[in-house]
Structures are given as structure tokens and as C-alpha cells.
Structure 1
Amino acid sequence: MKFGDLLHPVSASEFLGETLGRESRLIRGAHGRFEHLLPWDTINEILSHHRFSDNSQISLAKNHTAVCHDVFNPEISTFTVPGSTLRHRRVEAARLNDAVEHGATLQIKGIENLSDPIGRLADSIESEIRERVTVDAFICKGETPGFSAHWDSLDALAIQVHGSKKWALAAPTVRYPLPDGDAVSQLDRAPEHLEETVLGSGDLLYMPRGWWHRVTPAGGWSVHLTVAFHRRTAMDLAHWFVDTLSKDEFFRSDVPQRWESDQAVDAYLAQLVSSVQRHARQPDLLRRFLSSTEQVQPFRQVFHLPRVGAEDLEVAEAGRVSWQAPLAAVATEENGITVVAGGREYRYPASYGPVIDALVGGGTKAVAEVCRLVAPAGLTTDDVRTAVAEMALAGLIRVEGPSEDQG
């Protein structure tokens, strides 16, 4: 599922241009259209096979109180390595079943790293909104609330996968709250009136950061996903901007001390203002900020074992390929192509450029289609296979489907 499919019938361009960061929006959809993202079998597999580090990855809440400690097996698996002790606990089925049966809401954090369909959706969202996203799953039964009315410092998309849930919303009491700010007391100052609505299977709700919300199960089973993302702010730009100033000799110089004359202090402050303005007026300042903060974000790399060398991975034209680094920066230079993703540089021949252009932001494509797209640039099918294989083994491209190498 891609970002556009998630928003349907609203277009991605409409959502980005008119809704994102401006107002909450409810999008009704066909019943069951999100069920493939997180089937019950997948939930059960995650709980059965994954070892959790206490409530950093899994937690439960009931009537506004955390009850996570009640669901772990008392036997703790301990692994000692030089300098640290790693503790992992398995979820105990009887305790979890009892907690959920009696009204607790189960939260699985970072589920985009545990489910491939959700991970792919997260990648698609990142490629459109240009921000790093995380996804949590919320599972509950009955009508007992898990959390009280609160606001979050992240924008959120609530995706109702199974069942239904009641949402009560109110506009922010303080606009643009920051992740580490304490602009309002979340529990003491919730608005008296919140507008209520019910999300059914297939519905989607978007909330900008700061929007008050109270979520209550609507009876029966409910599973929803919350896609959360921090939108870069002027504070982020300011922090980044200050870091860039160290290249200027003036900003590395000493500040005036108390014994300096008033004239010396005034001259220093005037030069400070002038220097900041000179750097801030660079026409490409915002572009450099956006690019530099995107290209350090981690991306979900894929593996193609037992193939570990480009000569081992021969991709058939019937195969399918997709780009895995949605926030990567791609630059064409004199000596080739440079891809910066996850804080690392990857260098490739200039001939790889058309292949990258065909894949970035384009979802999954058949290798044959990529060959057709790059043919005007003079690239052959073998050229495409070579480029795809090398970048796939670096984790930048996912290769699926028939492969000529079945070893």
C-alpha cells in the first residue's frame, strides 16, 4: 500500500497542500481496506516470536494507568556482554489475554520494523512527506479507555484496521508544541468539550501535533495503527544553522569580557548581527537544511542472502525492484553518482543515474519497465541488471520475484 492508496479518495497533493500541519481531517474508506496491513496472524506471530525489552517496545494501559509489567513472563533472559547486561522478556500468553480481556489496551511500538507491509507503507509515507515516521499498533477489546485526553508533539495518522474506536478531538490550546517542551499541562487543562466521532474499519484520521484527543474502544475488538512523525520546525533549522557557523572564523573567536569597553561590546554585537544575517540570507539555506537533515535518517535496508556479491545476484526481467531509501540525497558529480542515505555515502558510475531516477519515489516496478524507462539514455538490460544488483546488495534496492540465479 502506498501513501496515495492510504488517503483515497483524497489525493496526496490535496492532503499535502491543504491539510498537513493545518487541521485535523477524517477520511472515510471502504470497510476492511487496511486489514492486510496487520492481520491477526501477524499480531500473534509478533507476540510469539519477538523478545521485548520491557515496555520500550510493548506496553499496556487501562483507565489511564500503565499495566505493562503484568504481561511479561517473570523469567528474564539475561545476556552478558563486555560492559553491559542485556535483558529480554517474553510476553506470557495467559497474562496478556487476561489483561486485554479485562479492558487493557495493548501497544506494540515500532511495528514498522516487525511487519513488512507496514514497513513498506512507512517508506511510502516518508517519501511523500519527507519526514521520518514511526508506527505503533493499538489493540483492545471492550469499552474501557486506555489513555486520558492528551495531545502529542508529533503529527499522527490513525489507521483503523479492525473493528471501531471512538475519538474525541479538540483544537490545540497551544499551537506548535515541541517534543521536549512543556507548553501546557496535558492532564489539567484539557478542554471541557471535545467533538466525538467513530472510526470504523477502513477509516483514517489525521491530527497535527497539539490536537487534544481521547480514544475509547467502541465495543468488540479494535486494532488501529498510529503513524507518527515530527515535522521539522524553525527550532530545528536554528540548531542546524548554528552548527554551520563554526566554519566562519568570527564565530570561533572569543566573546568580549566584562572589562571590555562599551564601544568594543557594541562593535562586537554589530558584527555578530551582520554575520548572522549574511549567512542567513544564502539563497540555498533552506534547501541545504532539508537535504542535510533528511540524508542522515536511517532507512529500512533489505538483504538478499545467500547472495553477497554483485556477481551472485542476477535479476530477471520478470523480477520487481523498489527503492529503499526514501529520504536519500542523490547528486550527479563529474566522476559519477553519489547517494547519501542513513548518514553514509554510496558512490556509483554515472550510468546508474537513470536507473536511480526511475526508482526513486516510484514504488515497485518490474525490471522490464525500468529497462524501458532508461533505454533512451542508451542503457541495455545488462546495464540495468548490473546497477540493480550492486545497489541491492548495498541495501538501497529491494529485489523480488523470479531470479535467474536460484542458488
Structure 2
Amino acid sequence: MTPSRTTREDPGVDGTGVLETRLTGLTREEFARDVWARTALLTRRAGDFADLFSAGAVDELIARRGLRTPFLRVARNGATLPDSAFTGPAGVGATIADQLDDTALWREFADGATLVLQALHRTWEPVAAFCAGLSTELGHPVQANAYVTPPQSRGFDDHYDVHDVFVLQIEGTKRWSVHRPVHPDPLRDQPWTDRRAAVAEAAEGEPYLDTVLEPGDVLYLPRGWLHAARAQGEVSVHLTLGVHTWTRYALAEHLAQAALAVLREDPALRGTLPLGVDGPDGELDLVRERLAAAVTRADPAPLFHRARRAQGRPAPLGPLAQLAAVDRLGPGTSVRLRPALAPRLEGGRLTTRVGWLDFPDDELPSVARLLDGVARPAGELGVPLVARLLRAGVLVPGEQGPPL
């Protein structure tokens, strides 16, 4: 390992994005040029993450939020326990048979099991806001899990993920062993279990990085990098932010789908193969020619943007606050674009994660102004337009805080 390339000590906090100010100490440009999808990066003392998550948050989620699977899984010695080992009925008034059983979880944890709180970007607001901000910076979807490991325990064997990760050590310490990939840049349908033997062999070799993460440290691993971690002399709590990176292969899939949609309108390609055909050889030249032409003409952008919208969710919407905003609406009412909508205005159509709306030409300048997320009075935009967008869940009251 080359420390000067993989380690940053005491990052500065004068940048504007969370990537620089809270995770790496690198500007977005530096991270993109030297680290992103290339190499592991350890950042010591990146900051205090107590505002994002804590041991108290773990207890709150498990004991008081009525979580169900799959919002939690439990692992011991490299194996995941069945849900029945830590779930049970919810009691009187709730016909739910698989809520978390805090007593069963305590017993498993005391016996050395790791608790994995999954999808915290859906269940814990500070983490949700952080993930939304990071996703906007990176241009790729971000999700979050928390790993809670008792002293001297390990939840999972050496493995790789099919997404990039940022590991944020919250409490306690954990020793990480990191090895180079055996299968660089795995796709989402190429899990480490397909290469168990190669992973096990590589894990026996000299690690690329062998270090103990302390509270405030951050470790970035591109997809495919092997890793295993063990808690030290106290309970370890860390957040893993999973970055589900878009790939050129995904873009190729969208291009192929778009090309096939073009070929559906080609009479020659819809034609029946000759009677008695026993193979494709006599037809491939025509198919290749028409397919190549379709690929040249096809536009994968709509499919790409649709898939991207589907991989994220808009910021939470409170129905009572929204109704109050509609009822009190007047020229002085402050409104703004709902965060994390992934809006696109093309022609007269606005497409977002909550659907699409068409607008007449005279309303388009006001709609375009809304896309910067800045709060504005309804009178500046047009009260009827604002009323429509509030009812559609595209706008929210402006006093709800800054956009993510």
C-alpha cells in the first residue's frame, strides 16, 4: 500500500459538499480523478458523526419503532440467521407476526451476533437526509445500513460488494482487512458467492490495507474490493453507505432496449422465418444490419432517466402540512420544489419521481424557476400553478428547511 495515495489525515472542512467536508477531505474533482472506482481510501478523523447515528439510535429503532424484516437481519460467524430467530407477534391491536423481538435480539447479540439495521435511508431521518445529499453530489443512488457488532466478534466472512461503500465508524473500534478485487467492477448480478474459492484464496494473501477504524474514521471501498471486519474490545457501531453505481453496461442495456423498440416497427424484422428453418445462419446478416442501424438511431436517455428515477425516493411529504399549505395558499405563501424529485423539464412536460405534468407555454418560465429548489412566494409564480403543484406533491411549503 502507498499511504500517501490511500490515506488522508485531518481533512479540511472548507468545502461545500459532504464528500469533502464529512467523508474524504478531497474536493469532488480530486476524488473523481484519484479515487472514485479506482482504489480504497482511508480518511482518519473525518469528523463527528453523532448527528447521524449513535448507540441510542440503535436502541430506539429496535425497541420502540416496531420495525419488521427486512429492516433488520442478524449474522453470526459468517452466516445469516433465519428471521424466525428474532421476530414475533406484535401483540394486541396489531395483526403483525414478524415484528422485531427485542428480547430475542438481545440474547442473540449477547451471544456474539451482529445486528444489521438495513435501509436506514428509509427509517432514520438524519441518515436519510445525508444519503440524499451524497446521492445528489455523486449522481448515483445511495442507501445506508448500520452494523452493530459485539466485542471480538465478526458478522461476515471475507467478501466483496457489488456497490461502492463508505464506512463511517460511529462508536467503538473495528479492525478491517482489505484485499484487491478478484473480479474488478462486478455487476449487480455477479455476487461474491459466485467466486467463493477465489475470494477465500485472495483473503489468505497480504492485505492491501489492515487497519483499525476509530470513531470519526471513514473508509471508501470501490465495488469488488474484498473486506472483512472484526470488532475489538468494545461494541462497534458503523454506518455503511452503499453507492449503487450506474455502469456503462447498464447504459448498454438501455440502448439495446431502445433499439429493440425501434425494430418492432420494422416490417422486415417482424417477418416470419422461412418454413423449415433449422437455424439462424441464413437470417443473421439482415438482422445484424437492421440491429446496427437501430442502435445508431435509438435514444436510451428516456429509459436511463426512468430507471434512475425509480432507484430513489423523493423527500418525505407530510399530508397534514401539505393540506394546510393548500388551504392557506395566497400570493405571499412560500413554496419550493420538493427535494430529491429528480425533475426533468423537456418541452412542456415536467417528469419527476411522483409522475409527470404538462404545462402551457406561459407557465413554463415559472416551472423552470422552481427547479433550482429556492423558496419563492406563490404570487411570483402564479397562485393557480402553485396550487396545482402542491396538490401533485411537486411543491412543498417553503419553511420546511433548505433543499437536500
**Change beyond 3 A, Cα 1:92–1:217:** same
CA contact (8 A) 2:19 2:27 kept: no
3-state SS, counterpart of residue 161 of structure 1: strand
Question: Are 2:50 and 1:35 equivalent residues in the alignment?
Answer: yes
Question: Are 2:236 and 1:222 equivalent residues in the alignment?
Answer: yes
Query: Within 2, Cα distance between the matches of 1:79 and 1:185?
Result: 46
Q: Which moved more, 1:316-325 or 1:19-28?
A: 316-325
Query: Within 2, Cα distance between the matches of 1:398 and 1:63?
Result: 47
Match of 1:192 in 2: 204
3-state SS, counterpart of residue 224 of structure 2: coil
Match of 1:126 in 2: 135
Match of 1:109 in 2: 118
**Change beyond 3 A, Cα 1:69–1:332:** closer
1:115, CA displacement in angstroms?
Answer: 0.9
Unpaired runs of at least 5, structure 1: 81-85, 360-364, 372-379
Query: Within 1, Cα distance between the matches of 2:152 and 2:278?
Result: 70
Match of 2:379 in 1: 382
1:309, CA displacement in angstroms?
Answer: 6.8
Match of 1:340 in 2: 352
Matches within 5 A, 1:298-313: 298-306=312-320, 307-308=322-323, 311-313=326-328
1:42, CA displacement in angstroms?
Answer: 2.7
1:222, CA displacement in angstroms?
Answer: 1.6
Matches within 5 A, 1:1-400: 2-31=18-47, 33-54=48-69, 56-67=70-81, 69=83, 72=86, 74-75=88-89, 87-181=96-190, 183-185=194-196, 188-193=200-205, 194=207, 195-244=209-258, 245-248=260-263, 249-250=265-266, 252-254=269-271, 256-257=273-274, 259-260=276-277, 265-266=281-282, 268-282=283-297, 285=299, 287-306=301-320, 307-308=322-323, 311-314=326-329, 323-325=338-340, 328-333=342-347, 336-341=348-353, 344-348=355-359, 349-359=363-373, 367=375, 371=376, 382-383=379-380, 386=383, 391=389, 393-397=391-395, 399=397
**What TM-score results when the alignment is normalised by the length of structure 1?**
0.78
**Change beyond 3 A, Cα 1:96–1:179:** same
**Change beyond 3 A, Cα 1:74–1:230:** closer
Query: Within 2, Cα distance between the matches of 1:318 and 1:196?
Result: 56
Q: Write the deviation string for residues 16-42 of structure 1: whole angstroms up to 9, x where unpaired.
A: 3432222221122345x2111013333
Q: Write the deviation string for residues 279-299 of structure 1: whole angstroms up to 9, x where unpaired.
A: 3334x8464553232233341
**What TM-score results when the alignment is normalised by the length of structure 2?**
0.78
Query: Within 2, Cα distance between the matches of 1:257 and 1:235?
Result: 34
Match of 2:5 in 1: none
**Change beyond 3 A, Cα 1:144–1:114:** same
Query: Within 1, Cα distance between the matches of 2:66 and 2:313?
Result: 22
Query: Within 1, Cα distance between the matches of 2:170 and 2:332?
Result: 35
3-state SS, counterpart of residue 196 of structure 2: coil
Paired residue type of 1:296: A
CA contact (8 A) 2:89 2:96 kept: no
Paired residue type of 1:119: A
**Change beyond 3 A, Cα 1:310–1:235:** same
CA contact (8 A) 1:310 1:390 kept: no
1:111, CA displacement in angstroms?
Answer: 1.0
**Change beyond 3 A, Cα 1:315–1:148:** farther
Q: Write the deviation string for residues 305-362 of structure 1: whole angstroms up to 9, x where unpaired.
A: 3242753255998979564225x241242xx4513325x2134531333433322xxx
3-state SS, counterpart of residue 172 of structure 2: strand
Unpaired runs of at least 5, structure 2: 1-16
What CA RMSD, in Å, does the superposition of the two structures yield over aligned residues?
3.6
Q: Write the deviation string for residues 112-146 of structure 1: whole angstroms up to 9, x where unpaired.
A: 11111111111112222222222111112211111
CA contact (8 A) 1:310 1:389 kept: no
1:78, CA displacement in angstroms?
Answer: 10
Query: Within 2, Cα distance between the matches of 1:154 and 1:205?
Result: 14
Q: Write the deviation string for residues 203-261 of structure 1: whole angstroms up to 9, x where unpaired.
A: 21111111100111122122111111332334423332232222333385146357359
Q: Percent identity, aligned pairs only?
A: 19
**Change beyond 3 A, Cα 1:273–1:312:** same
3-state SS, counterpart of residue 256 of structure 1: coil
Query: Within 2, Cα distance between the matches of 1:166 and 1:385?
Result: 57
1:98, CA displacement in angstroms?
Answer: 3.0
3-state SS, counterpart of residue 232 of structure 2: strand
**Change beyond 3 A, Cα 1:133–1:8:** closer
CA contact (8 A) 1:63 1:146 kept: yes
1:304, CA displacement in angstroms?
Answer: 3.3
